[in-house]
């Protein structure tokens, strides 16, 4: 299944694009998405374990199911002072 992912901040910079397409297995979870991101976009690998993944407007954990009709976004952790 092909998912279109919107990237923000450092993830967008590393991928070189605001939107990427990622191939994942049918019935994929957010955890599967993380693995596919690391494999298909090696420049994102340093961030993948810490990315916040949102499905629509809600953050999702690694067990959340994905389908290609959803709006999926990835945000790296944010720090500030």
Instruction: Write down the pLDDT at residue 77.
Output: 84
Q: Which long-range contacts (CB under 8 A, 24 or more apart) does 24-31 make?
A: 24/66, 25/1, 26/1, 27/65, 28/1, 28/3, 28/65, 28/66, 29/62, 29/63, 29/64, 29/65, 29/66, 30/55, 30/60, 30/61, 30/62, 30/63, 30/64, 30/66, 31/62, 31/63
What's the pLDDT tens digit per position in 20-78? Answer: 999 999 999 999 999 999 999 999 999 999 999 999 999 999 999 999 999 999 999 87
- Domain spans of the chain, in order of start: 2-75
Query: 2-75, superfamily in CATH?
Result: Beta-grasp domain (3.10.20.30)
């Amino acid at each position: 299944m092909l998912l279109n992912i919107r990237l923000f901040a450092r993830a967008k910079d590393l991928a070189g694009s605001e939107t990427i397409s990622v191939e994942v297995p049918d019935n994929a979870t957010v955890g599967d998405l993380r693995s596919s991101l690391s494999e298909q976009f090696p420049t994102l690998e340093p961030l993948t374990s810490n990315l916040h993944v949102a499905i629509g407007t809600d953050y999702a954990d690694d067990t959340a199911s994905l389908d290609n009709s959803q709006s999926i976004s990835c945000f790296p952790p944010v720090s500030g002072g």
